[in-house]
């Protein structure tokens, strides 16, 4: 009887060791809460904040950021080659004077308008380069180094200014 009891206890101990070495219970996966969707007006304000945070006080003072049609004016749309009805939201700071290659802008194109907006903005950059080819070589270099890209969230960023890499990185970090 003692041998049987010892054998049973030994088997129970071995089984408990095997159970302890099994696969651990799966950790519950955290539920991801989706980021809230911003309205066009809220997104434009967010874009404006990102642009202003990426620039110094003097640049913000002299180069305002437009987020509405009234602030943009029709000439800006013509210069950029896009229209407000192609976009869900935007924030644009641009020099319309022919002595400065300057445009820092964020655009959220409507679905299906991404390629048209990118094409128009590239044409704008090409036009700026052409206008400075024989005039103000320092501005030509700025235009040639312009950054035009579509970010992971679909936002199109155009950064054409001094220190464009630093400004671009600051904008992306703020978004």
In the prediction, which pLDDT does 37 show?
Answer: 81
Residue 7, pLDDT > 70, answer: no
In the prediction, which pLDDT does 53 show?
Answer: 94
Question: What digits encode the pLDDT tens for the residues 84-133?
Answer: 999 999 999 999 888 899 999 999 999 999 999 999 999 999 999 999 99
Give the residue ranges of DSSP H helices in 28-161: 40-54, 57-62, 69-80, 114-131, 137-144
DSSP-based three-state secondary structure for 106: strand
More confident residue, 37 or 88: 88
Number of helices (H) and strands (E), helices first, in the chain?
7, 4
Burial 106-116 (b: 16+ CB within 10 A, else e): bbbbeeebbee
Element (H, E) at 91: strand 87-94
**Could you tell me the sign of the dihedral formed by the alpha carbons of 58, 67, 166, 78, in that order?**
negative
Name the band, by pLDDT with cuts 50, 70 and 90, for residue 36. low
The average pLDDT across 62-85 equals: 90
Whether pTM > 0.85 for this model: the answer is no
């Amino acid at each position: 009887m003692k041998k049987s009891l010892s054998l049973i206890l030994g088997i129970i101990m071995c089984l408990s060791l095997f159970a302890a070495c099994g696969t651990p219970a799966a950790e519950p996966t955290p539920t991801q809460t989706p980021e809230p969707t911003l309205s066009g007006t809220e997104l434009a304000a967010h874009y404006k904040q990102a642009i202003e945070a990426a620039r110094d006080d003097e640049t913000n003072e002299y180069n305002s950021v437009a987020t509405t049609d009234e602030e943009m004016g029709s000439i800006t749309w013509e210069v950029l080659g896009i229209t407000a009805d192609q976009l869900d939201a935007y924030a644009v700071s641009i020099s319309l004077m022919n002595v400065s290659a300057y445009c820092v802008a964020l655009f959220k194109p409507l679905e299906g308008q991404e390629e048209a907006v990118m094409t128009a903005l590239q044409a704008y950059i090409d036009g700026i380069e052409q206008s400075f080819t024989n005039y103000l070589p320092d501005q030509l270099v700025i235009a040639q180094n312009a950054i035009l890209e579509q970010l992971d969230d679909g936002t199109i960023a155009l950064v054409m200014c001094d220190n464009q890499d630093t400004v671009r990185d600051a904008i992306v970090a703020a978004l």
